Amino acid sequence: MLLLTCPWCGPRDETEYHYGGQAHVPYPEDPDALSDEEWAENLFFRDNPAGPFAERWSHTAGCRRWFNVVRDTATYDVLEVYTGAAPAATQPGVAR
Amino acid sequence: MSTPLPPEHPDWLWRDPDPKSSYDAIVVGGGGHGLATAYYLAKNHGITNIAVLEKGWLAGGNMARNTTIIRSNYLWDESSAIYEFALKLWEDLPAELDYDFHFSQRGVLNLAHTLQDVRDSTRRVNANKLNGVDAEWLEPNEVAKVCPIVNVSPDVRYPVLGATFQPRAGIAKHDHVAWALARACDQLGVDLIQNCEVTGFVKDRDRVVAVETTRGRINAGVVGLAAAGHSSVLAEMAGFRLPVQSHPLQALVSELYEPVHPTVVMSNHVHVYVSQAHKGELVMGAGVDSYNGYGQRGSFHVIEHQMAAALELFPIFGRAHLLRTWGGIVDVSPDASPIISATPVENLYVNGGWGTGGFKATPAAGWAMAHTMATGEPHELNRPFALERFATGALINEHGAAAVAH
């Protein structure tokens, strides 16, 4: 089981959290201007690296707030926990 | 129930060749799908100058980690077409490959625990019948006749309200399936090359012409990817993205027991599926771990959840001992349907996105992928499963619809 550190509540078991997938996926600035292919990219395509990955977690059984984790998907090591919409300095895989 | 012993561990059934400098076709991934692709490239299309490149050992990925369930009772026409095609191939393959891999058509029960489950299930039975797939709806007392150890008491948290039953579904010995295919490939002249990881793709403009591997560069006329959980990693090397996310999927077996479980039981609602292997282990699986992961391991609370569900359905398992748990990496697509498709790179094709359910499709996936690689055009089976569907919106949404435990 993963041990994740909520920025507000501290270290808790994975079972207290809900996974939110890739972090920093922006909503299209001008949705009307997107082609079908661009919508497909926005809706269905996410990064899927074997390595460091910036992802969203929500502390559903605690403070119910969202935060970001950079986690290595190969080793499951948590590399960084941070809040806010801005990617971390060490941030890999920012959505294009 | 008579349970013949599985065959003895065989001697080497295939050569262990070094890679040649060039092949007409290269299949990346030496699991069930890769082997089936090579087999049908050779058998159906006469292409025998083929290499199957496997980064580890043959059939050591998800082919060694699945729960061996074979069924075709999917809801949508496109899905039932390809899975039923697979089931018909499974029925012929032991004779065709001259290898008894213990394909046992013991049926599958998909339990319904809520009124919505009942409605969805009866709808799926009707859809299956229209598509020529054997399916029937069973009331709880009939469920108990098929599988006496299922608890059909109304006095449980999620009582069994009935089940769909596909009698032709079943299980097979996954390792023996791989060995049977590998032997057949080898006899047809296919080079099965192990410990050979693909590290890059060589392109001439938009066309793939070779692969870089840990055993050197190998030229290729056409390349097919059959790498399951690592499909995204290979696609990224080749310069394109796939709409899949890789998750750990865990399964487990108990110690060996006398035959007590005559069929396969799946329950989406309490989230477990159970069969009993020929040797006697109870084989169980459930859904994926929530997070992306390539670690071939998952979190223990997922195992606890499966065991709780299994105990609810099968009180007789209360004293059973867990022997072993493991994880595989599955690439899950947005609509829980596979991708067998051309890619943005010319002469490079992908077979992936099977998520939690690739084993049952092994022969059909190989058949369709071989056709696609040999002709450059999709087979009728995989035409609906192209990458374009994510832009056109013609998704084949089998999440939940197909009795898939996700």
- Please determine, for residue A95, whether its predicted confidence score (pLDDT) is greater than 70: no
Tokens standing for residue A25: 């996926």
Between strands B264-267 and B108-112, the pairing is parallel
Chain B residues closer than 8 Å to A18 by CB: 290
Q: Regarding predicted confidence, which is higher, A37 or A90?
A: A37
Chain A residues closer than 8 Å to B334 by CB: 43-44
Using N-to-C axis directions, what is the helix angle for B362-375 and B32-45, rounded to 10°?
50
Report the complex ipTM. 0.92
Cβ separation B301–A14 shorter than 8 A: yes
B129: left (phi over 0), alpha (psi -120 to 50) or beta: alpha
pLDDT band (50, 70, 90) for residue A85: confident
Half-sphere exposure for B400 (CA within 13 Å, toward CB): 7
- Residue located via tokens 């109870």: B282
CA distance A88 to chain B (A): 19
Which secondary-structure segment (H or E) carries B93? helix B77-96
CA distance B163 to chain A (A): 31
B212: left (phi over 0), alpha (psi -120 to 50) or beta: beta
Structure confidence at residue B406 (pLDDT)? 43
3-state secondary structure B332-344: ECCCCCCEEEECC
| Amino acid of residue B44 | N
- Residue located via tokens 């060749």: B17
Between strands A10-13 and A78-82, the pairing is unpaired
CA distance A14 to chain B (A): 9
Structure confidence at residue B171 (pLDDT)? 98
Structure confidence at residue B7 (pLDDT)? 72
Which of A1, A43, A76 is closest, CB to CB, to B293?
Answer: A76
Chain A residues closer than 8 Å to B291 by CB: 2, 19, 55, 71, 73
Sequence-ordered list of residues with C-beta below 8 angstroms from that of B37, at least 6 positions apart, any chain = B27, B224, B226, B351, B365, B366, B369, B370, B373
Residues B64-80 as b/e (b if ≥16 CB within 10 A, e otherwise) read bbbbbbbbbbbbbebbb
| Amino acid of residue B191 | D
Structure confidence at residue B209 (pLDDT)? 98
Structure confidence at residue A92 (pLDDT)? 55
Task: Tally Cβ neighbours within 10 Å of residue A5.
Answer: 13
- How far is residue B80's CA from residue B62's CA, in Å, rounded to a whole number? 22
Could you tell me which of A12, B79, B340 has the C-alpha nearest to residue A1?
A: A12
Q: Does B205 touch chain A (CB under 8 A)?
A: no
DSSP calls for A18-44: EEEEES--PPPSSGGG--HHHHHHHHH
At residue B389, the 3 state secondary structure works out as helix
Chain B residues closer than 8 Å to A37 by CB: 391
DSSP calls for B112-176: E-SHHHHHHHHHHHHHHHHTT---EEE-HHHHHHH-TTS---SSSSS---EEEEETT-EE--HHH
Interval A30-81: pLDDT, tens: 999 999 999 999 999 999 999 999 999 999 999 999 999 999 999 999 999 9
Q: Regarding predicted confidence, which is higher, A94 or A88?
A: A88
CB B103 within 8 A of CB B172: yes
- How far is residue A24's CA from residue B264's CA, in Å, rounded to a whole number? 42
Nearest CA in chain B to A17: B290
pLDDT band (50, 70, 90) for residue A91: low
Domains and CATH numbers, chain A: 1-26+50-96 (3.30.2270.10)
CB B120 within 8 A of CB B400: yes
- Residue located via tokens 């490959």: B97
Sequence-ordered list of residues with C-beta below 8 angstroms from that of B246, at least 6 positions apart, any chain = A48, A50, A73, B229, B230, B232, B292, B293, B294, B329, B330, B331, B332
Nearest CA in chain B to A57: B291
Task: Tally Cβ neighbours within 10 Å of residue B242.
Answer: 26
At residue B300, the 3 state secondary structure works out as helix
Q: Which regions in chain B score pLDDT beneath 70?
A: 1-2, 10, 400-406
Q: Is A30 exposed, middle or buried (0-12, 13-18, 19+ CB in 10 A)?
A: exposed
Between strands B264-267 and B272-276, the pairing is antiparallel
- How far is residue B77's CA from residue B79's CA, in Å, rounded to a whole number? 5
Structure confidence at residue A28 (pLDDT)? 95
CB A73 within 8 A of CB B294: yes
Strands across the sheet containing A78-82: A18-22, A52-58, A66-72, A78-82
Structure confidence at residue A96 (pLDDT)? 35
Structure confidence at residue B301 (pLDDT)? 94
